[in-house]
């Protein structure tokens, strides 16, 4: 009976003690350490529960020991732990084991050790620390958490995990209220859509917006992005980069002073010293500003754009008011000739060109047209000679005097000029009908370019101007439209439309359509001229080898002896005129069909023949250096 009474009295005394402590007024503690730090009811820590409560005095400071299922409260913040030591005088608590801080039901912090300063409301947590606010979870081994600002700070490594991403860093500052975080030293962000590495990063877990203030590398699976300024909306894929960011992948390189970028669509806008490089095809595009698409590999450059097509010794520079470049997925259908069973020689195997394809059962006429297409300049020359009349004149300019016309030279099949007719064997119609054509499909990506208005082209060996231009990597043809002019060495070529064919990025063939006019200047007074409805020029190793004018053709050429003295001028009209060159010097001229004309002394060339109709020497428009492209 006495034992029961003593137990009841002990419990009653504990309740009285608890009530007295809860009703304590600020400043009631007698410790000199707490007298300078007045407490208020908000900062006062209250006991909620504990399996065991003990009192202990140490260095004149009274401590309260709570063991088992202990819980304290300060305002709207609750502290749980296996055991707690309370210093009421200094308003400090120390918690051990399975710690849980619930801050106003918005932030939960867990650890194995805690020391908490009630007056400043700052908690220092150690061992398996975890902070969660519903949007993200921070884990670290050491964390300082300020309950006033709801700020968590770690200085020895930490990790933040959201529903989609994981971020690690050496140092971190996390603001639970605003969901902002500031990370420093070895920052790495990993997400299913991207990875990021930087030294300093500002990040909002709610909006998933990352702000960059130091060199940063982003890998989104399609390209590598490098920047040191700007922000990236990881949720929407929108970004603004400054301080010359770089976007690159295996085939393209993009940089500028400032770039806006949409990861979802691949679209971007760049301003300030924009550079686009197609690393696969050796093409560079420069401008002041540009719109581009990383995914489709298209780019529209404005503001003094310059396109550079890299060549071994003579790169090509192209400019205009605007330049557009893109990639076309091209399907080629290659006809397999393996079923011919030897009936066709290798020279007669045929391949569709440009956008045309052959049907499964091709006609003989179609095959003939493809087989008889002249392979290049030499074949064109051979066709012309084979069909030429017997009396077509040939004038050789290799001697100091004019040679007599050699009529029978056209009949020689084995002469040194290789003027023999080129023939191709074709199987009979019955044999051809039995061929079974099999399509082999291959997908290629082909880059093309378009230039609009005030187009200018420069290389050391060739220059050109026109109003608009189109180029495709599929056929390597520069198509020049609206008043085009091409200069090569001392020659000027004009016409309504000019096609410049290239091979291995060198001139291979030039085709001038309608009102074709070629002028080359001998000196300030004499101009060699060639005119026709169409002009075709063929190059060998990048130098002119053969020029052909067809349709109402005219030519005027001044002849020189071995000492470069002028001996006269030859004027002629014909349906077809051919010029042949050796080592860049004119070697031979042939006139074919309805030839008429004459030879004049240099001083007696009729005035109306010194300058052909529509003659205009446009040397003032010729870009002579790269710097003159914008003049």
**Can you give the three-state secondary structure of 439-461, one letter per residue?**
EEEEEEEEEEEEEEEEEEEECCC
186-235 pLDDT per residue, tens: 999 898 888 999 999 998 878 888 899 999 999 988 899 999 999 989 78
pTM: 0.68
Rg of the Cα atoms in the chain: 44
Return the structure tokens found at 326: 């893109």
Give every CB contact of residue 565 below 8 A, 6+ residues apart in sequence: none
Q: What is d(CA 301, CA 273) in angstroms, rounded to the nearest whole number?
A: 11
Q: What is d(CA 354, CA 300) in angstroms, rounded to the nearest whole number?
A: 25
Average the pLDDT over 321-339 and give the result.
Answer: 63
Average the pLDDT over 287-316 and give the result.
Answer: 88
218 vs 473, residue with greater confidence = 218
Given phi > 0 = left and psi -120 to 50 = alpha, else beta, which region is 43? Answer: alpha
Q: What is d(CA 143, CA 135) in angstroms, rounded to the nearest whole number?
A: 18
pLDDT at 201: 93
pLDDT at 32: 34
Give every CB contact of residue 75 below 8 A, 6+ residues apart in sequence: 42, 43
528-576 pLDDT per residue, tens: 889 999 999 888 776 778 889 998 899 898 887 777 788 888 888 899 9
**In the chain, how long is the greatest CA-to-CA distance?**
153
Q: What is d(CA 224, CA 584) in angstroms, rounded to the nearest whole number?
A: 48
User: For residues 467 and 479, is the Cβ–Cβ distance under 8 A?
Assistant: no
Return the structure tokens found at 567: 């001996």
Q: 233 to each of 214, 228, 290, how far by Cα in Å?
A: 17, 15, 22
Q: Return the domain boundaries, the chain.
A: 20-125, 386-422+483-631
600-626 pLDDT per residue, tens: 888 888 888 888 888 999 888 998 887
Return the structure tokens found at 253: 């390189």
pLDDT at 133: 80
Judged by average pLDDT, the poorest of 16-20, 244-248, 407-411 is 407-411
User: For residues 136 and 161, is the Cβ–Cβ distance under 8 A?
Assistant: yes
Judged by average pLDDT, the poorest of 75-89, 480-494, 503-517 is 503-517
% of residues, the chain, pLDDT over 90: 34
Rounded to the nearest integer, the mean pLDDT of the chain is 75
Average the pLDDT over 378-407 and give the result.
Answer: 34
Q: Is the pLDDT of residue 425 over 60?
A: no
Q: Is the pLDDT of residue 326 over 70?
A: yes
283 vs 542, residue with greater confidence = 283
pLDDT at 311: 72
pLDDT at 302: 92
351-385 pLDDT per residue, tens: 233 333 333 333 333 332 332 333 333 443 343 33
Sign, Cα dihedral of 201, 206, 208, 211: negative
pLDDT at 266: 92
Average the pLDDT over 499-504 and give the result.
Answer: 83
Return the structure tokens found at 125: 């947590």
User: 54 φ, ψ to 5°?
Assistant: -130, 155
pLDDT at 626: 78
pLDDT at 476: 83
User: For residues 511 and 380, is the Cβ–Cβ distance under 8 A?
Assistant: no
pLDDT at 444: 60
Q: What is d(CA 136, CA 151) in angstroms, rounded to the nearest whole number?
A: 13
pLDDT at 41: 58
A 10 A CB-CB count for 156 gives 10
Q: Is the pLDDT of residue 598 over 80?
A: yes
Q: Is the pLDDT of residue 477 over 70?
A: yes
- Model confidence at 243, pLDDT cuts 50, 70, 90, reads very high
Which residues lie across from 422 on neighbouring strands? none
A 10 A CB-CB count for 145 gives 27
- Model confidence at 584, pLDDT cuts 50, 70, 90, reads low
User: For residues 483 and 614, is the Cβ–Cβ distance under 8 A?
Assistant: no
pLDDT at 99: 94
pLDDT at 330: 56
pLDDT at 231: 92
Q: What is d(CA 626, CA 631) in angstroms, rounded to the nearest whole number?
A: 10
Q: Which residues of 193-227 are buried (b: 16+ CB within 10 A; e: fewer)?
A: ebbbebbbbebbbeebbbbbeeebebebeebebeb
pLDDT at 42: 66
Q: Is the pLDDT of residue 80 over 70?
A: yes
pLDDT at 442: 45
Q: What is d(CA 33, CA 558) in angstroms, rounded to the nearest whole number?
A: 113
Which residues lie across from 247 on neighbouring strands? 225, 254
């Amino acid at each position: 009976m006495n034992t029961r009474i003593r137990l009841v009295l002990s419990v009653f005394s504990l309740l009285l003690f608890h009530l007295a402590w809860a009703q304590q007024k600020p400043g009631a503690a007698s410790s000199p350490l707490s007298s300078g730090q007045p407490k208020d009811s908000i900062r006062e820590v209250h006991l909620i529960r504990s399996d065991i409560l003990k009192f202990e005095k140490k260095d004149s400071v009274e401590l309260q020991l709570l063991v088992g299922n202990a819980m304290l409260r300060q305002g709207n913040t609750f502290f749980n732990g296996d055991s707690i030591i309370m210093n009421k005088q200094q308003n400090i608590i120390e918690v051990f084991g399975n710690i849980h801080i619930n801050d106003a039901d918005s932030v939960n912090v867990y650890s194995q050790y805690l020391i908490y300063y009630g007056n400043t409301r700052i908690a220092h947590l150690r061992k398996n620390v975890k902070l969660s606010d519903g949007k993200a979870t921070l884990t670290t081994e050491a964390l300082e958490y300020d309950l006033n600002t709801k700020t968590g700070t770690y200085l020895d490594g930490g990790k933040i995990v959201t529903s989609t991403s994981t971020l690690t860093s050496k140092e971190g500052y996390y603001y639970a209220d605003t969901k902002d975080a500031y990370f420093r030293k070895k920052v790495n962000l990993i997400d299913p859509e991207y990875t990021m590495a930087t030294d300093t990063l500002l990040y909002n877990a709610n909006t998933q917006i990352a702000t960059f203030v130091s060199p940063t590398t982003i890998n989104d699976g399609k390209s590598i992005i490098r920047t040191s300024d700007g922000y990236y909306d990881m949720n929407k894929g929108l970004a603004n980069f400054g301080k010359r960011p770089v976007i690159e992948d295996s085939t393209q390189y993009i940089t500028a002073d400032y770039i806006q970028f949409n990861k979802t669509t691949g679209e971007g806008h760049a301003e300030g010293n924009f550079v686009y490089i197609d690393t696969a095809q050796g093409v560079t595009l420069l401008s002041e500003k540009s719109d581009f698409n990383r995914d489709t590999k298209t780019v529209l450059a404005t503001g003094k754009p310059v396109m550079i097509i890299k060549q071994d010794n003579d790169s090509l520079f192209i400019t205009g008011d605007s330049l557009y470049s893109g990639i076309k997925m091209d399907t080629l259908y290659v006809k397999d000739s393996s079923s011919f069973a030897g009936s066709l020689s290798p020279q007669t195997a045929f391949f569709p060109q440009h956008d045309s394809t052959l049907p499964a059962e091709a006609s003989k006429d179609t095959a003939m047209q493809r087989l008889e297409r002249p392979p290049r300049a030499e074949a064109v020359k051979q066709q012309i000679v084979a069909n030429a009349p017997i009396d077509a004149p040939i004038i050789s300019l290799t001697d100091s005097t004019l040679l007599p016309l050699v009529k029978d030279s056209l009949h020689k099949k084995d002469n040194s000029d290789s003027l023999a007719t080129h023939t191709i064997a074709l199987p009979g119609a019955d044999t051809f009908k039995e061929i079974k054509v099999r399509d082999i499909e291959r997908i290629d990506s082909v880059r093309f370019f378009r230039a609009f208005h005030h187009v200018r082209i420069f290389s050391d060996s060739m220059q050109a101007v026109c109003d608009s231009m189109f180029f495709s990597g599929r056929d390597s043809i520069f198509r020049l439209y609206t008043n085009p002019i091409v200069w090569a060495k001392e020659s000027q070529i004009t016409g309504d439309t000019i096609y410049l064919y290239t091979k291995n990025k060198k001139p291979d063939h030039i085709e001038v359509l309608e009102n074709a006019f070629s002028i080359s200047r001998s000196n300030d007074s004499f101009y060699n001229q060639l005119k026709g409805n169409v002009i075709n020029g063929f190059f060998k190793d990048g130098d002119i080898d053969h020029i052909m004018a067809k349709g109402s053709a005219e030519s005027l050429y001044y002849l020189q002896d071995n000492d470069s003295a002028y001996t006269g001028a030859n004027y002629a009209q014909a349906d077809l005129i051919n010029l042949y060159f050796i080592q860049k010097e004119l070697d031979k001229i042939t006139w074919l069909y309805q030839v008429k004309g004459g030879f004049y002394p240099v001083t007696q060339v009729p005035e109306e023949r010194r300058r052909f109709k529509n003659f205009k020497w446009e040397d003032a428009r010729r870009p002579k250096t790269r710097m003159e492209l914008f003049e």
